[in-house]
Structure 1
Amino acid sequence: MTDLRAAVEAILPSARADLERLVRIPSVSADPARAGDVLASAEAVAELARGAGAAQADVVSAAGGRPAVIASWPAPEGAPTVLLYAHHDVQPTGPREGWTTDPFEPTERDGRLYGRGSSDDKAGVATHLAALRAFDGRPPVGVVLFAEGEEEIGSPSFTPFLETYRDRLAADVIVVADSANWTAEVPAITTSLRGGVDCLVTLRVLQKSVHSGLFGGPVVDALTALTRLMATLHDDKGDVAIAGLISTDAPDIDFPDERYRSEAGVLDGVHLVGSGSLTERLWTRPTASVLAIDAPAVADAANILVHEARAKVSVRIAPEQDPRAALDALEAHLREHVEFGAQIEITEGMVGGGCALPTEGPVVEAAEAALTEAFGVPSVRTGIGGSIPFIAEFEKTFPDATVLVTGMGDPLSGPHGLNESLDLAMFAKGCLAEVLLLDRLSRLPG
């Protein structure tokens, strides 16, 4: 333990340098104009992997997908192989004026490193590389580093990628570093993630927009019909009212309302809605959100009856909910509740499953022990309300592997938002935790 701590402390400056190098690359996978930057980011990860002792490190893709990296460190005799996953692509920055500093120039303030991707998920890539550097490129287990390049756009080529590179990615344990700790001081293993489905719904009531004074009254405008339909997604308590969606139990952990209100930025006087515990509402019950509505802007409004209106609806689903059944249930609800005979058209979008991950067994015990040792406080088990659909693909492709979900986020990280950041003290502990985990996995019975 002492030797491993010393090894991690020795490589932390290089680990931070790796992270800062990656943050400077604007690898926004959603922006076609940034395709060259996504490739440059993958090439940088591959170069860093070779510097960390990889026997092989390649930039690869499948089915026209964004460039990813597969690097490998062969297993010592009798040792298991561990797949270390993270993604090197990032979200768009949003309004640049909302950032305190340049989003692609890593900047330290008050013990946090600010920059797009600093926590989600280039910190995950840097953590994996740090662990390998700490072992001087000779880890006690076999390691495959998989740095994906399109997670932020829903991993569209993930399934063909696994099919193409299955042999190179095969492992006994899969560590997905794309989640978050309970706090910067308290580590966590994520044991459940919700799935998600969405669709576009379009309502039409007229052939074209017409004068609201001359024709208003006998027919309702499309925007009113649409907003009334959106209002049927929840009951009077704020619970989702879509028939056929399931709920499951959440991990037993205290999450005070006050903490949620503070972290989410809930305004004074706004009530929390829904039934069940806060963790159930966040992690294992369905949610329904209207993400956007296409309608005339207020500045361009005219006195007309709007003939057509469109909305994007997103539903997060319980970890064990079948996503196809959930999308069918959403479509059935929308068709059943549309009023006034408005014509409805539904265009299906994302269909992603959630997952419930192992909470018992030697691999989970090794992970919890490593986190507890590194952070100095017991680790906790949490759920995540968001979705990482590709985890189900990992489980399907490698059914005998144990999947662990960790991460370098904390409640203040702000992934996807303005001024995303990473707690540097937590980053150091996370690097140590991964080193300790690899060491413990090397000593598990075969």
Structure 2
Amino acid sequence: MDTAAKVDALMDGLRADLERLAAIPSVAFPGFPAEPVRQAHDLLVGMLRDVGVERVERIDLPDTAPVIFAEIPPPSPDAPTILLYSHYDVQPPGDEKLWLSPPFEPTPVEGGLRARGIADDKSNVIAHLGMLRAYEGRPPVGVKIVFEGQEEYGSPFDDYPPSDPERFACDAMVIADLGNLRPGTPTLTTGLRGASEVVVEVRTLQEPRHSGEFGGAAPDALLVLLNALSTLHDVHGDVAVAGLRREEWTGTTYTEDEFRDLAGVRDGVPLIGSGSLGERLWSGPAITVIGLDAPSVEHAASAVVPYARAKLNLRFHPRQDAKEAQNLLVEHLRGLRPFGVPLTVTPGDTGPGYEASTGGPAYRAALTALREAWGEDASYVATGGSIPLVNGLARAAPGAEVLLFGAQDSMCNLHAPNERVLFSELRNTVVAMCAFVREYAADFRPGAAA
């Protein structure tokens, strides 16, 4: 099969199906209608059946949208089985005034399309389908397909696969919920930072007291909290909590100009931290204050503040234990007594990171496939975000190689206004998927996975 020519012949149909799927506002957050999520589910089931997939099932778990599970048996007893994952739900559109076109009306942009969820993750759903179409529903490997319907909000499905390991058993899996470092740069993601949340609060007075009469001696809860938060970073902006793991990053990363543009850093404002961007973003910790309860400036009174609270988000090294990382932050805060005032520290949700093994037959096949699709060797990156399901699938199939690549790119505005996908990235991802299954089937030997 001339892979590139076959995929090029399919692109008009894949684009049309991507537009159909992206036009469905499949937001699975509370407060949004459930019908569009079901509509997206049903559309994908139909697409799978149209390509010849006979076994298509629905996994229904409490308090989550339906998960599509489909399976194509391996063509021979010694052929490998791969699992393909992506999700069909999307983020809410946010402030629609910030969009250049209605978020659920797929709109042409230079080289691609704009719509909410068109990159994250509907482009990758279509990439999986594109591979199946290129092989007319009969690829040279067994295939298990998981299309999740509530990934963006969080789902009990994250922890479900280990309870049903036979269903998810495979030799390799492609988690397509991300993409390239930049357009045109083939990228394998090899690590995911873990995530944890911690709430810290301060109560000092029964109620506010006049700042003129009591300020200077009455303990200001907001001042106490700010003092505590200031200990989390050193003078350079590096995390100062002892024991949180940080290592040199040896893979590819952004240039500083790229990162400043992606993050929207204002002119003249420096980046925080020291060392490479890779260390700061991927192989080291980050602590962000994501919420603060305190009197607003607009409604401020001349009074000593009696109560203040902050919510912290911790990201930590892919190989650091999640509970260990959270406990290090909790104990750091509990050990403080700003101006002699104790803090109340409450640990919240936590999720582990993940670091993939490399060097097995699936990784060799992926490197060959990405080079074939993009015309250059793949770069290795990590991501500061977490994909909790990766750990669930890895526990269900502990011997499987885990590959993370897809049709998104770092500049696609995922979770932001004016999200877009480029046809070049979608086309090349389909080519890479086709080449991957071909190379993996040719190189695979039972028991050879790393």
Bin for the TM-score computed over the shorter chain = over 0.9
Name the counterpart of 1:88: 88
2:250 and 2:154 map into 1 onto residues whose CA distance is 26
1:259 and 1:368 map into 2 onto residues whose CA distance is 25
Return 5+ residue gaps in structure 2 as ranges.
446-450
Confirm whether residue 253 of structure 1 aligns to residue 252 of structure 2: yes
User: What CA deviation, in whole Å up to 9, does each residue of 1:331-383 have, x standing for no partner?
Assistant: 11111224134353333222111111122122101101101101112211111
Name the counterpart of 1:380: 379
Q: Is the 8 A contact 2:253 2:381 kept in 1?
A: no
Q: Which runs of 4+ in 1 moved over 6 A?
A: none
Q: Which residue identity lines up with residue 130 of structure 2 in the other structure?
A: A
Name the counterpart of 1:292: 291
Aligned residue pairs total 444
Name the counterpart of 1:108: 108
Name the counterpart of 1:239: 238
Q: Is the partner of 1:92 in helix, strand or coil?
A: coil
- Could you tell me how far 1:303 is from its partner in structure 2? 2.1
- Could you tell me how far 1:294 is from its partner in structure 2? 1.6
2:366 and 2:177 map into 1 onto residues whose CA distance is 15
User: What CA deviation, in whole Å up to 9, does each residue of 1:223-245 have, x standing for no partner?
Assistant: 22222221111011111011121
Within a 5 Å distance, the mapping from 1:164-175 to structure 2 comes to 164-175=163-174
Name the counterpart of 1:282: 281
Confirm whether residue 54 of structure 1 aligns to residue 53 of structure 2: yes
Confirm whether residue 128 of structure 1 aligns to residue 119 of structure 2: no
Name the counterpart of 2:137: 137
Q: Is the 8 A contact 2:80 2:444 kept in 1?
A: no
Within a 5 Å distance, the mapping from 1:364-443 to structure 2 comes to 364-443=363-442
Farther off after superposition, 60-69 or 408-417: 60-69
Q: Which residue identity lines up with residue 213 of structure 2 in the other structure?
A: L
Name the counterpart of 1:219: 218
Q: Which residue identity lines up with residue 405 of structure 1 in the other structure?
A: L
Q: Is the 8 A contact 1:62 1:164 kept in 2?
A: no
- Could you tell me how far 1:309 is from its partner in structure 2? 1.4
- Could you tell me how far 1:165 is from its partner in structure 2? 4.1
2:419 and 2:42 map into 1 onto residues whose CA distance is 24
Q: Is the 8 A contact 2:220 2:306 kept in 1?
A: yes
- Could you tell me how far 1:26 is from its partner in structure 2? 1.6
User: What CA deviation, in whole Å up to 9, does each residue of 1:39-87 have, x standing for no partner?
Assistant: 3222222222112221121232224332211111111112111100011
Name the counterpart of 2:4: 5
Q: Is the 8 A contact 1:292 1:311 kept in 2?
A: yes
- Could you tell me how far 1:126 is from its partner in structure 2? 0.9
1:59 and 1:214 map into 2 onto residues whose CA distance is 66
Within a 5 Å distance, the mapping from 1:303-322 to structure 2 comes to 303-322=302-321
1:89 and 1:348 map into 2 onto residues whose CA distance is 29
Q: Which residue identity lines up with residue 200 of structure 1 in the other structure?
A: V
1:254 and 1:210 map into 2 onto residues whose CA distance is 51
Name the counterpart of 1:16: 15
TM-score (norm 2): 0.94
Q: Is the partner of 1:8 in helix, strand or coil?
A: helix
Q: Is the 8 A contact 1:87 1:149 kept in 2?
A: yes
2:164 and 2:40 map into 1 onto residues whose CA distance is 20
Farther off after superposition, 150-159 or 121-130: 150-159
User: What CA deviation, in whole Å up to 9, does each residue of 1:284-317 have, x standing for no partner?
Assistant: 0001100111222222222222221111101110
User: What CA deviation, in whole Å up to 9, does each residue of 1:112-152 have, x standing for no partner?
Assistant: 21111111111111110111111111111111110112221
Q: Is the 8 A contact 1:113 1:422 kept in 2?
A: yes
1:89 and 1:164 map into 2 onto residues whose CA distance is 23
2:235 and 2:98 map into 1 onto residues whose CA distance is 36
- Could you tell me how far 1:272 is from its partner in structure 2? 2.2
Q: Is the 8 A contact 2:163 2:396 kept in 1?
A: no
Q: Is the partner of 1:153 in helix, strand or coil?
A: coil
1:306 and 1:156 map into 2 onto residues whose CA distance is 40
TM-score (norm 1): 0.95
2:17 and 2:103 map into 1 onto residues whose CA distance is 17
- Could you tell me how far 1:255 is from its partner in structure 2? 3.6
Farther off after superposition, 261-270 or 139-148: 261-270
Q: Is the 8 A contact 2:7 2:431 kept in 1?
A: yes
Name the counterpart of 1:190: 189
User: RMSD across aligned C-alpha pairs, in angstroms?
Assistant: 1.7
Name the counterpart of 2:161: 162
Farther off after superposition, 202-211 or 127-136: 202-211
1:311 and 1:216 map into 2 onto residues whose CA distance is 22
Farther off after superposition, 294-303 or 276-285: 294-303
Q: Which residue identity lines up with residue 166 of structure 1 in the other structure?
A: P
Within a 5 Å distance, the mapping from 1:317-356 to structure 2 comes to 317-356=316-355
Q: Which residue identity lines up with residue 438 of structure 1 in the other structure?
A: V
Within a 5 Å distance, the mapping from 1:27-42 to structure 2 comes to 27-42=26-41
Q: Which residue identity lines up with residue 89 of structure 2 in the other structure?
A: D
2:118 and 2:285 map into 1 onto residues whose CA distance is 30
2:429 and 2:285 map into 1 onto residues whose CA distance is 31
- Could you tell me how far 1:277 is from its partner in structure 2? 1.7
Return 5+ residue gaps in structure 1 as ranges.
none
- Could you tell me how far 1:109 is from its partner in structure 2? 1.1
